[in-house]
Amino acid sequence: MKNLKVIKTQEDYQKALAAIDKILAIAVPTPDHLDELELLSILVEDYESKTMPVELPDPIEAIKFRMEQDGLTRKDLQKYIGSASKVSEVLNRKVDLSLKMMRALHEGLGIPAEVLMQEPGRSLPAYVHMADQYPFKEMFKNGYFDPFVGTLNEAKEKAEDILDNWFDGSAKELFTALSEKIPKSEKERLKGVLDDMDFI
């Protein structure tokens, strides 16, 4: 097995692809070849995920693709979109999808919500890791995440869970504090809102 290294440049990427092609061309690869192929695949996938984000398909094209895939007609879409004229307007891009239509298409046809929610021709913003949205380093240093035991890097890897737990606890404390100062009817309404948001 050759010395494999992290792919950092387009040149490294091309070399890794060539090495994969070479291994795939071997009629009977050895276990070493298969190990090398697996490692190269991981390195290539990592590089691609960082440098070549996958664009989500256009929502209307996704609907048309699902229609073709499932053998659906425009009439079949009426239960998700509305009247025949509404289906025609949506598919011809004269009318945008409403939230109700998106929900129905997602639940009924299994089209991913993130595909349906984006504006045609525009991609959704890239995912921002939770640890990048907060002064995570300072919060960690000041003990906000106790009883978590580990390094800062380990905490960053688990940032989403740690912050979810932290905010979950804060929401419960807020509810408890508010519930002592508000009428019973408002308390029930607030509890319902927080339950819907999965805070308590």
Encoded tokens for 36? 């090398």
In this predicted structure, what is the pLDDT of residue 51?
82
Q: How many CA atoms lie within 13 A of 27 on its CB side?
A: 0
Write out pLDDT tens, residues 124-183.
444 444 455 556 667 667 776 666 677 766 766 666 565 555 555 444 454 455 455 556
In this predicted model, what pLDDT tens digit does every residue of 71-101 receive, in sequence order? 999 999 999 999 999 999 999 989 888 889 9
Encode burial over 67-99: b for 16+ CB neighbours within 10 A, e otherwise: beeeeeeeeebeebbbeeebbeebbeeebebee
Reading the block at residue 134, the tokens are 């907060």
59-117 fold: 434 Repressor (Amino-terminal Domain) (1.10.260)
Cα separations in angstroms, 75 against 62, 80, 93, 111, 181: 17, 10, 17, 18, 55
Stretch among 45-49, 98-102, 152-156, 184-188 having the lowest mean pLDDT: 184-188
Residues 6 or more apart from 97 whose CB is under 8 A from it?
Answer: 59, 81, 90, 105, 116
Q: What is the mean pLDDT of residues 59-68?
A: 92
The chain-wide mean pLDDT, for the chain, equals: 76
What pLDDT shows up at residue 104? 92
Q: What is the pLDDT, as a whole number, of residue 5?
A: 86
